[in-house]
Amino acid sequence: MGYEQYKKKIAPLCPVAVKLGQAEVCAPGHNNWGVVTCDAPGCGAKFAIGPDMIYGSRISDVQAAKDLASLLTEDHKRNSPHQNAYELKD
């Protein structure tokens, strides 16, 4: 399956988190460090996180996962749906 199915391709230099199971956004220029699952009760949304393939990242995969978990927690506190993609501060 290629990236053609996605409506938008993002290419920030910072690490990204892209929600799995959606066809809106992809980040083809990023590596995959792994998957982070939202641990809010009843949620379970999964996000692939990773750095830019060329520039890498100044933060680790562990720090990126913690940063994403904080963003997901804030979404739940605000009763907002999760975005399809997040740019993670580098």
What are residue 18's DSSP bridge partners?
Answer: 48, 85
Domain boundaries, the chain: 3-87
Specify the pLDDT at position 84.
98
Structure pTM? 0.93
Average pLDDT along the chain: 95
CA angle 26, 51, 12 (to 5 degrees): 60
H helix intervals, the chain: 61-77
Instruction: State the DSSP H helix or E strand holding residue 46, giving kind and residue range, or none if neither.
Output: strand 46-50
Residue 70, φ and ψ in degrees, nearest 5: -65, -45
pLDDT at 1 over 70: no
Report the Cα 27 to chain-centroid distance in Å.
9
